[in-house]
Homo-oligomer: A and B are copies of this chain.
């Protein structure tokens, strides 16, 4: 089993690499080879019996992935992307990395005849937008209100069409908001969703810019990585007529998130969250869909977190 990963130096990429190596096998077959690709060379890692290559490649430059595809990987995880704010700030960059590079990857698979190679791509809840219903399902249209979401939605269509034509065996998973991300607060509008838990758990102050009755659709990093792995194992025949769908996150209000913080880390931790309403952030985050039926994903055996408390506890376990 040879697995190639684009964006392997990123947050999810690194977690996926470690999880794959810990499992040692994918779809019942021992992992013998990993090809890790990112703009800057992904951190070196060694594991007995596994040939691991770390490559510094700009996947948006023509032919960059040719040597990787020449080696005919069995599974390709396509995680490299320009994030939402960067894609909004620079349309050309977003189109090149989030769309053209996906297309080039599909074309490369076609040229190499990799019809049996499972391609697992990450898409996003940001592909939804517009006049959304209260509860979204697998037939809710993608009307993205940002360029990142539009580029992901276009890539989904292409992965589906190439798969339908038998040129690759693709699958696109739309990810919920990931909570709790490690690290520092960043410019993303969703940054607070991790921050209001992570900082207090680390003994620091955090700001909550949204009303506590706001609902979010979230998934822990561990569950997302599990879903990526399951995404390589679920049979193509089971996927039905469209190879992109939303993963089963859980719907949780900010109040419930803070209640879980309270339960797990006490009054003191909760007191570290200051409420400073920010209308701009509240408006952006408030426009994100928070309820999904997730029928397709559940039928295919994808699982969400059980409850929010578990997400907080998992973060503490990992940190320990």
Residues of A within 8 A of B (CB): 91, 129-133, 138-145, 147, 150, 153-154, 157-158, 160-161, 164-165, 240-242
Contact = CB atoms under 8 A, between A and B. Distances in A.
A160 B144 CA distance: 9
A138 B130 CA distance: 11
B139 A132 contact: yes
Contact of A157 (B91, B140, B154, B242): B154
A143 B241 contact: yes
A161 B147 contact: yes
Given A139-B143, A142-B142, 6 more contacts: A131-B138, A140-B141, A143-B241, A147-B161, A150-B157, A150-B160
A240 B158 contact: no
Contact of A142 (B131, B132, B141): B141
A219 to B, nearest CB: 21
Residue among A130, A132, A139, A147 having the largest count of chain B Cβ atoms under 10 Å: A139
Given A132-B139, A141-B139, A158 B165 contact: no
A145 B153 CA distance: 16
Contacts of A131: 138-139, 240-241
Nearest to A161: B150
A241 B130 CA distance: 5
Contacts of A132: 139
Given A131-B240, A131-B241, A91 B165 contact: yes
